[in-house]
Structures are given as C-alpha cells and as structure tokens.
Structure 1
C-alpha cells in the first residue's frame, strides 16, 4: 500500500501524521508542522485516521488564513477577480465585435452605480445585498466567509465597489478604443490598447516585470556597465524579487511586498544553488531550514540595496510610483573579522623570504610568486594583477610602470571603478627581484598574458587560484592564518605605510586607485601625477 505524503513511520514501525503550518500563520513567521503519533502499526488504519485529520487540518487552516488576512490580501483577491473579468470581456468583444447600445448603456450604468453608497450599490449588484455579495465572492475565491471579521467584510465590500467601478471604466475604454482608427498607431495596438487612464483604472501595466528588468540592464550596459560579479549580484536579487512577488508587474509592487522580501531574506539560505539541501528547490521549501546557514547581514543588505537601486530607477523612468525598498536595510555593526589588517614588518620580511628563496618549497608556480610580489610592492587588487598582459609593463617618461586598465585582448579585463584605471610605478625592490626579467621571458615565449596558466571565471576574473593559494596554503604554513590577514592585506599595508611615510593623500590615491576628492585633485587634476612623482612616492614603502 502506498502511503500518503503526510504519513511517516518511525523506526519502531509506528505511524505518524505530519501536517505543514503555513509560514504566515506561525507566530514567528517560520515554516513549521504538526506531528502526531497515530498509535498504530497498521497501514490501513493509519490511512483511515489520516484522512479524517486532513479534513480537520484543511478546515482549520482555511479558517486561520481568513482570520490572518491582511488588507493587501483582500485587495489582491479583488484585483485578480476583476482583472479576469476584464480579460474575458476584452476577448469577447474582440471576437464578437463592438457592443450594441443596450450593453454599452448597461456598462455606463454600472460605472455610475459604483459611485453610489455601498448598501445601495450592493443591493443592486446582488439580490441579498452586502451579505449575499460577500458570500458569493468568497465562495468563488475559496475564502471561508464565516470566518471573516467585521473589518475584513468592510474592506472586502469597499474593494469590490472600487473594483467594479474600475472594471466598468476599463471596459468602456476598450470599447471606445475599438471605435477609434488612428493610422499613426503602431500595428497591433488599434484594438484594445485603451488609454493610460484605462490601464491605471484596471490596476494593470502594459509591460511585464521581466521587460522592465531587461530595460534596466540595457541602460546599465549602455552607461558603461558594471563588473561581472556586480551584474550577477544584481540579477540574483531581481530574480529573487520576482520569485517572492510571483512576477508582479513593477507598478504593482507594494510596501507589503518589500517587507515580505526583507522577511524572506532574513531566513534565506546561504549558497542556495550550491548547497545540495536547497539546490533546485522552490523558495517556500528552503527558508529557515534547520542546520542550513542563512546569508550574512551584509549579504542581506546587498540584496536589498540592489532591489532599492532597481526600484529607484523604475520610479525615475515611470514604471512605478514609489520606491518601497528605500530605508529597508538592516543595521550591521562591522565585526573585527570583516576588516583587514596590514602586515607587520616581520610578516612582510618572512613572506618576502619565502617568495624569493622558497625554503619550504611552498611556491610552485610563477603566478603564485610574481603575483604575490606585485601585490606586496604595488598594493594592486588581486584581479588587477592576475589579468595583466605582458604589454601592460612598460616605460613611461623613463619610468617602469604597470598600466592598470581594462584594455586588452578578449574583452575579459575589467576594473572595479573608474579610478582603478591608472599607472603604478614599479618599486625599486620589485625590479631588484628580477620581475622585469620574468616579463621579458614571457614576451620571448610569445605569451600575451603575464600569467597564462590562470583560468578565467566570469564572476571572479582570473585571481581565484592565486588568492586561494596565498590565503589557504602560504599564510597557514607560515603561521599567519587569520581572518583579518589575506592577500588583500597587501593593499591595506601599502596604503598604511605610505600615509606613515608622509606621502600626500592625493598621490596615495593615485597609486592605490581610489577616487580623488575635492576641487583641486578631483576636478582639475585631469592628467594625473607624473610617473616620476609617483615613483618617488611608492619607493617610500619599505620594511
């Protein structure tokens, strides 16, 4: 005998009944269930008992859902009802042709009646008045009317009257549109396009959520684009928003939707598509799972920030009336583990020794050795180093520099910010290590990229292998393993030491690749510092 999904058997052979509790009915908004022992080992008895429990469970859930209904839930029921009515009306008119005078007059009368007082309107719509109208609507929508509170009934009747008015207005607009013949109108819009007022009245928009998202990303790309990882993060956030709202149009997204999105993110699992427990499962089945870590607060805020940015763009471009995600981010106190510390002199000396002399045979690739040394003596970002081409190391005004840019073969080079496009002079000690000899050897071997063995990842660029080796192998083997010491600490170290050496802030930013501030450097210093100036500055880094 095949058991129902809500039945399970314990290791002792006793049957248990499991009934899910909807998340919105849980006091803490968590996914939960009721588990009861049926006190039988007989499958047939368990099936019989469970059928009675299912009926009782369905009845109680329906009643609880009705009592837990919010105004936004009632409004959505009414919107869906009249949208369906309007779609069927339009299909009928499109098939059968324009309305006759009697039906047209009836629509006008319907629109006028909706402006009268509620009892009069309800009495004309249903023979049993407001109570009959509520009963009929609830029966059609599957809502247990007996469990509605007086406030719910008042909300429902008011929404029905407004929805009836909006339907009549939109239906009349559709009929009027069929009578107009505008030869300048795009093909396919002559019949049923209606007007902007009709669209607003029916609560609909003529453009889908995905179409608005596509327009948004097209504009992002047109304005210069973003890093691949940033693009992926934005798309992940907007895909999740569509999953949460059920692909609502952007214009229909409400404050309640934004709050729901925040609540979902508070329970959202980390690495949803990588973890075998959550991979490929619908959203409702992956929230707040025991033993599955949730996304960090910083990641939660990243999702909300991307949603807020998108909705802000939608408002500015006429796709929405309000940005309901503004101010939704949670307050995060930055933990020490989230920060990066600079290396000490002793740590730098030890790293330098192992990168140059390799006494423990830890350095096994050119990318590991030279990538780390370049990071140590330039403060460049990991991916800026990993994506370098041999042509990027050049002389400018007699000074050897690394030309950090997104120009190169294959269109795979990228920069984090506009300020990252810069020329970083080679430190005297980096030159002394034989770095230029390594570059020349790569050129002689007809290598276009400086580190050709590094593979490309669309999301993270070329730097993954160096970062993993440095953080997970070199630092632990040298006794420097720490959450605050990583490859990126080279950047913090360079920044800190140059400040300590009294290098002007504007020159430090030019070396590190940070945006200049103020009128003098941010506005007027268009050509930047001369290579010789930055060479003198970077050589003041020492240990």
Structure 2
C-alpha cells in the first residue's frame, strides 16, 4: 500500500490528513489534496516524497504558530445530506471538463461547415453560399479577431508594465504613449495568475489539445482585458458578474458565446479551488441561460449516403489534390460503420489495426480484426490524443469494411510502423491530422448534392447511433463503440462489454438501402 496516494478519475493525488488540532492554521481544512499530475501509478509514487517533505514543514510551522493556544473544538461530522452535496459537487466538477471539450468540438464542427466561406472572406474574395451562412461565417471571424486583438493588447500592456513599471500604463490626465481603460488596469497581487500559472497547471493535469489550451488562454486574456489582470485570489464574484454583463452587452456575442466564455473561466477557477490556490470558485454559480435555438447536427439519410458513395471518390477512384490519399475513401466508411470520431480515425497507426482472440457462444476460440483507439505518451513518435478516458477502447471492425478491403489496404502499406493514412499532416494551432480533410469533405458533400449545412463529417457518428439503435444494439454497447462515458453511477461498475458481445453487435449493424460501389 502506498501512503498518501489517492486517485480521482484517472489522475493520482497526494492526500494527507491534517490533525484536528492543527486545522485552524489551515482555514479549517481537513486534509492536503494535491494533484500528482500523472495517470501512471509508478510515476505518481515517485512524486510523493517531495510533497511529504513539504507538508511536514507546513505541519511543523502550524504546530509552532498554535503553540500555547487552546485546542479547538472538533468539527461535527458531515451529515448524509452534506456528504451527498459534496459528492454531487465533485461529480459536477469532473463533468465540467467534458462539457467544455464538447463545446470546443461543436465550435469546430460549425467552423468546419462554414470554412469555405470563412476562407473566402479572409482572402477578400466573394464567398459562395446562402446569405445566412455568409452572415454566420462573418460573425465567427469577427468574434475570433476581437478576442485575439484583446488578448494581444493585454499581452502588450503587461510586457510594458514588466519592462517599465506601473507608469507604463496610462492613467487619466497623463500623457503616456499607451492608453488603457480603468477596466484593463493591472492589479498587483502576490498570488498566481489566470493566464499563466493557473492555465499551465490545469493544462499539465488535464492535457488538452494545443487548440484546447489556446482557447483557454485566449479566454483568460479576454477576462484580463475586460477586468484587469490580477492575481487569482483577488478575483471576486463581483468581477465575474461584471465580466458576464460586459459580454452580454457586446452585440457581436451570442448567448452561446457568452455561456462558453463563462464556462472556460469557471473551469480554470475550479481547478484553482481544487488545488487550494483559492478558497472557493467564485464563478461556480455564474452561468448564462441560453434561449437561442442552435442548429443541431443531422443524420445522413440513405439517399445522402448513396449520393456520397456514388461520387467520384468511391465510384471512380478519384482522389482530391492535397495529398490526402486513401483517407478520403476510407474515413467516411469507417465513421459510418464504426461510429468513431474523425480524428480518432485519422490518427490510427498500422499497429492499431490488429486481430484479437475471443471465445464465441459455442466456447470456441475465434479471432476478429479490431481497431485500437487509444492515446499515447507525449514523447511518442506518433502521438495520439483522445477526448477523454472513456474514449480508450478496442472495438471489432464491421464485416463490410473487411469485405471492401480495409485490412488488405492496411497490410499493403509500405511503412508498417507508421499511420494508416500517411498522407494526413498535422496543421494549424490544434495540430489535428484531419482538419483539412474535414474542410475538404464540407465542399465535397455539396458537390454530391448535400446542401444542408447541419450535415457534416460528424453526422456519420449521429447516423451510426441511429442505425445501431434500430438494430437493437444495447446502449451500453453503443457507448463502448463510440467512446462515451456512462450516464449514471451504475455505468461505472463492471467491465466493458466482452468482445463476444461486441462482435455480435457490430455484425447486426446495417444501413437499409445503402449501396457502396466495389473499389
């Protein structure tokens, strides 16, 4: 047994009780709870001694500071209702990261659908599309430019402040070269800052994608530009409420945009509270009600799918310019028949496509081809990133994919140590392999006659779920295929569905009326 080692979700923590008589010196806290910032037990154990020495010193200091003072009365134990509230709050905190990840993904999907218009607007060319699409694409560009400009402006002011002192920031009646509103005034503090210490600590633990971390950084900078950069322990609920009012007052921001800005701030402050950098998350209850009706992603109909697969890529063997290679052929098929996310498919390595043994209903040993969707260490030669812990999964391939020649394609790749789709290259802030393929698909599906902007590459995932339910595949098995977390406490008990069950389930999946030309 490893002393002081605890685990929350997939991350290990240093956990040590504070003696009752010393708790007044720590604001009544009952224990030290510090993230070890590792999902590996052996690595986490190596970091415990340093925290042990640190907390020994803190306890010794507390003992000296309380020497001679009367012993405090012990706190009454928590009632069942208080324990239940504490448990509920913890679960909500853990769900917050997933919520924000979903929001980022939804934003990506909208940008993917409108990317041809946004590219045209950025280049000063006349865009093609409906007036509504052009207006929405323009709004997204304006939002991005405003947030980026605010972040850049705050970074400039802070750099001047560091170099030349407080006088570098202009005040009323003074004739400085740089002007700054009272709202953007820097406030000194002895703590840690939202856009540096808090962001870096949160990112080290949660390990978001580069795009995700950049989004949080821009939001931290946006808060600073509106409310003034101050050490995080000086941020008050009044600051957060004022920030919310300023966001709402901006006519360029939708309700959803305001909700997301508050969600990002809330996540960073929640991490700071969990790490005891601040006593409480002052943004926890500051939320934005959304009454606007957003456009939901739609399934592809059978007619849509037949139109896609009758297009030049699948029917004539054509490949677009850009070096995407066979990814444009196989990725839509894998998404439709496996329900996987776009990036999960694009980052598959040859070693992730493999035969797996299992025992069938007749107690006979069988083998089935599977894809292993998993993350990799940061220093891996072919790094993979997944959405969350539930996204790690080993799932059997649909027989139709094998019939169409997917295994033959993988086995004939020249580099058997590389990726399944070697033509894909990581680009942009997020370093995603499939961003450009997503943009290509948005144009290609229009060429195939699918104009509905609510139907994008992610619609394959929706379509898979619809036909899986129609096939009678149980919800628990559907979640395993798609890498979704359970919806209630009962889902957290027991192992994942067996390979025998998964093989039977995927064999039952079909899309009635679907026609796919032979390659």
Give the TM-score normalised by structure 2. 0.55
Alignment of 1:146-157 (within 5 A): none
Number of the residue aligned with 2:262: 304
- Asked whether the equivalents of residues 378 and 426 of structure 1 are also in contact (C-alpha less than 8 Å), the reply is yes
- Asked whether the equivalents of residues 219 and 264 of structure 2 are also in contact (C-alpha less than 8 Å), the reply is yes
- Asked whether the equivalents of residues 471 and 481 of structure 1 are also in contact (C-alpha less than 8 Å), the reply is no
For residues 204 and 390 of structure 2, the distance between their equivalents in structure 1, rounded to whole angstroms, comes to 19
- Asked whether the equivalents of residues 220 and 226 of structure 1 are also in contact (C-alpha less than 8 Å), the reply is no
Distance 1:355 1:508, change over 3 A: farther
Alignment of 1:277-288 (within 5 A): none
How many matched pairs? 316
CA shift, 1:360, in A, is: 9.1
User: Is 2:512 the counterpart of 1:541?
Assistant: no
CA shift, 1:541, in A, is: 2.0
CA shift, 1:478, in A, is: 1.4
CA shift, 1:411, in A, is: 5.7
Number of the residue aligned with 1:532: 500
CA shift, 1:222, in A, is: 4.6
User: Is 2:419 the counterpart of 1:449?
Assistant: yes
Distance 1:318 1:431, change over 3 A: closer
CA shift, 1:246, in A, is: 2.3
- Asked whether the equivalents of residues 354 and 360 of structure 1 are also in contact (C-alpha less than 8 Å), the reply is no
For residues 344 and 172 of structure 2, the distance between their equivalents in structure 1, rounded to whole angstroms, comes to 58
Distance 1:484 1:493, change over 3 A: same
User: Is 2:221 the counterpart of 1:239?
Assistant: yes
Distance 1:336 1:216, change over 3 A: closer
For residues 355 and 430 of structure 1, the distance between their equivalents in structure 2, rounded to whole angstroms, comes to 19
- Asked whether the equivalents of residues 199 and 268 of structure 2 are also in contact (C-alpha less than 8 Å), the reply is no
Number of the residue aligned with 2:62: none
The structure 2 residue matched to 1:313, chosen from 263, 271, 288, is 271
Number of the residue aligned with 1:459: 430
Number of the residue aligned with 2:372: 403
The structure 2 residue matched to 1:428, chosen from 375, 399, 402, is 399
For residues 415 and 287 of structure 2, the distance between their equivalents in structure 1, rounded to whole angstroms, comes to 52
User: Is 2:245 the counterpart of 1:263?
Assistant: yes
- Asked whether the equivalents of residues 442 and 457 of structure 2 are also in contact (C-alpha less than 8 Å), the reply is yes
Structure 2's unaligned 5+ residue stretches are: 1-164, 166-170, 175-186, 358-366, 512-519
Number of the residue aligned with 1:383: 343
CA shift, 1:416, in A, is: 0.6
For residues 449 and 239 of structure 1, the distance between their equivalents in structure 2, rounded to whole angstroms, comes to 37
CA shift, 1:361, in A, is: 4.3
CA shift, 1:362, in A, is: 6.6
For residues 222 and 385 of structure 2, the distance between their equivalents in structure 1, rounded to whole angstroms, comes to 27
Alignment of 1:46-61 (within 5 A): none
For residues 294 and 202 of structure 2, the distance between their equivalents in structure 1, rounded to whole angstroms, comes to 34
User: Is 2:485 the counterpart of 1:501?
Assistant: no
Cα deviation per residue 1:377-396 (whole Å; 9 max; x = unaligned)? 11110110111111110011
Number of the residue aligned with 1:342: 299
Distance 1:261 1:413, change over 3 A: same
- Asked whether the equivalents of residues 501 and 541 of structure 1 are also in contact (C-alpha less than 8 Å), the reply is yes
Question: Where do 4+ consecutive residues of structure 1 move more than 6 Å?
Answer: 140-143
Alignment of 1:183-194 (within 5 A): none
CA shift, 1:402, in A, is: 0.7
For residues 430 and 249 of structure 2, the distance between their equivalents in structure 1, rounded to whole angstroms, comes to 25
Cα deviation per residue 1:346-391 (whole Å; 9 max; x = unaligned)? 2223323337743494756311111121111111101101111111
For residues 229 and 313 of structure 2, the distance between their equivalents in structure 1, rounded to whole angstroms, comes to 57
For residues 434 and 400 of structure 1, the distance between their equivalents in structure 2, rounded to whole angstroms, comes to 12
Cα deviation per residue 1:198-243 (whole Å; 9 max; x = unaligned)? xxxxx97422425xx5443444345342233322222111122222
For residues 220 and 309 of structure 1, the distance between their equivalents in structure 2, rounded to whole angstroms, comes to 9
Distance 1:440 1:317, change over 3 A: closer
The structure 2 residue matched to 1:511, chosen from 472, 481, 485, is 481
Alignment root-mean-square deviation, CA: 3.1
Number of the residue aligned with 2:190: 206
Number of the residue aligned with 2:92: none
User: Is 2:235 the counterpart of 1:253?
Assistant: yes
For residues 298 and 521 of structure 1, the distance between their equivalents in structure 2, rounded to whole angstroms, comes to 30
Residue aligned with 1:394, SS: strand
Give the TM-score normalised by structure 1. 0.53
Number of the residue aligned with 1:80: none
Cα deviation per residue 1:480-512 (whole Å; 9 max; x = unaligned)? 121221110110111111111111111110111
Cα deviation per residue 1:253-296 (whole Å; 9 max; x = unaligned)? 2334223322333366xxxxxxxxxxxxxxxxxxx6xxxxx244
Residue aligned with 2:442, SS: helix
Cα deviation per residue 1:317-367 (whole Å; 9 max; x = unaligned)? 444455442333322236352x11111222223323337743494756311
Of structures 1 and 2, the one scoring higher in RCO (CA 8 A, sep 6+) is 2
The structure 1 residue matched to 2:408, chosen from 437, 440, 450, is 437
Distance 1:352 1:534, change over 3 A: farther
